[in-house]
Amino acid sequence: MKAVSIFISLLFTTTGFVFSQRIAPPKPIGPIPTAAQSRWQQLEYYAFVHFGMNTFTDHEWGEGRAPAADFNPTQFDAEQWARVVKDAGMKGIIITAKHHDGFCLWPSATTEYSVKNSKWRGGKGDVLKDLSAACKKYGLKFGVYISPWDRNHPLYGTPKYNRIYKEQWHEILTNYGDVFETWLDGANDNKKRMVYDFDGFFGTIRKYQPNAIIFSDAGPDIRWVGNEKGMAGETNWATRDNDGSFPGFADEKALNVGDENGTSWIPTECDVSIRPGWFYHAEEDGKVKTVVQLLDIYYGSVGRSCNLLLNIGVDRRGLVNEADAKRLIEFRNALNEEFKTNLAHGKITATNVRGKSKAYAADKILDGDARTYWATDDGVTTGSLELDFGKDVEFNRFMVQENIELGQRVKKFSVQVLDGKGWKTIAEQTTIGYKRILRFPKVRTRKLRFVIEDAKACPTITNIEVFDAPETR
């Protein structure tokens, strides 16, 4: 009889477990990221490198008139770039393979204005070949920017130039291995206006590197933040209504915030230079951004669900300058201190759990697994999680992540702590997306409450972390 009772008990326990596991997950809402967009979002932080003829003419926007022979880095070392970028905690490098002056850093067959006619390595050098190899050696992603504006090419301004530009992408995308991101803008000549075949450009990229993310001001895969300060809006939707947008679209308000009910998933990339200019200028050696400034940019980009593209202007030697390298490492060390120890441990409960299933329970946000998440029942668009640390803790940073594979949902949330008078709100914000990080004055408490005040559909929260960052900055 005892054996039968145990069997029945196990049967009900097992049946209940299976039943709980069968609770259907939330259905995706709105547009959702592609696999390539999700992989891109997880990179978070990588380098832009401006290097080319402008480095040697001390210009930002060259006119394409300087002789190709002027390009001659005396100590060029792509591996030094890769080491600095790797040590700085960045995940990749996007190189300005051709800027507006039209000078190509690879021996392109489409123009004579390239490294093949420079003094560097007797015209036998290839910056892209060296850099792609260095990125591979150091485990970095390799990306490329080529400007559609070309102030040197004789066919620019005619329909035939569109074929030239596509061929330049063909050369790059078939000769240098995997390219994780292709970067182009809508730069155009005010006097010699060019009608760009953007659909053809995108098609060429898709044909030769179908997994590459395409950046332009308005997508198609990722969008510009709308400024060169590296700062996204406090509200930032990855979704956009992209009708009427195009590369060169420069509406900061629209790009900075996105559209709550947008029809396309086009997340934001924030570009900013570590110096005042994009190319290296010796006079700016003492004007490298401070660690405090870089931290502000980080919280305004990665901390608002964007990727940060931080520019380095490589100097005339062909090296990342010592001033930039030093600051990048200082910034990496500061980030390590900001997020040194995750304090989010303890007993966690939720006001609602989807189907009362363990598969969507509150503790899924603490398990370190990005694939699991807390979710509420359909139709429940408000709710809260309460974390009991088990003892008083001090903290001043709060990180939260949504499961964006199911769409971006949260419209408004707050963070509360328990003090002697009850629950006190210490931070309020709007969107979350892939990752949201909040900064606030240090608090001390035993209990924290994360409150979702409004959402487009049942929330899906995959991670919460809490940190006590240094207050010296």
What is the pTM assigned to this prediction? Answer: 0.94
Q: What is the phi-psi region of residue 133: left when phi exceeds 0, alpha when psi lies from -120 to 50, beta otherwise? A: alpha
pLDDT of 414 > 50? The answer is: yes
Q: 144 to each of 106, 170, 184, 230, 302, how far by Cα in Å?
A: 11, 12, 9, 19, 21
pLDDT of 224 > 60? The answer is: yes
pLDDT for 255-307, tens place per residue?
Answer: 999 999 999 999 999 999 999 999 999 999 999 999 999 999 999 999 999 99
pLDDT of residue 473: 57
d(CA 104, CA 110): 10
List helix spans (H) across 209-240: none
CB 437 within 8 A of CB 303: yes
For the chain, the structural domain boundaries read 35-338, 347-467
Would you place residue 421 in the very low, low, confident or very high pLDDT band (cuts 50, 70, 90)?
confident
Q: Bridge partners of 447?
A: 388
CB 27 within 8 A of CB 355: no
What DSSP assignment string belongs to 310-336? EEEE--TTSS--HHHHHHHHHHHHHHH
How far from chain centre, in Å, is Cα 188?
A: 26
Report the candidate in 434, 350, 444, 351 with the shortest Cα–Cα distance to residue 394: 444
Report the candidate in 337, 344, 339 with the shortest Cα–Cα distance to residue 415: 344
Average pLDDT over residues 230-235: 97
The CATH superfamily label for domain 347-467 reads: Galactose-binding domain-like (2.60.120.260)
Question: Rg of the chain's alpha carbons, rounded to an integer?
Answer: 25
pLDDT for 452-469, tens place per residue?
Answer: 999 999 999 999 999 999
pLDDT of residue 343: 98
d(CA 153, CA 160): 11
Domain 35-338 CATH assignment equals 3.20.20.80:
yes
Average pLDDT over residues 79-93: 98
pLDDT of residue 472: 66
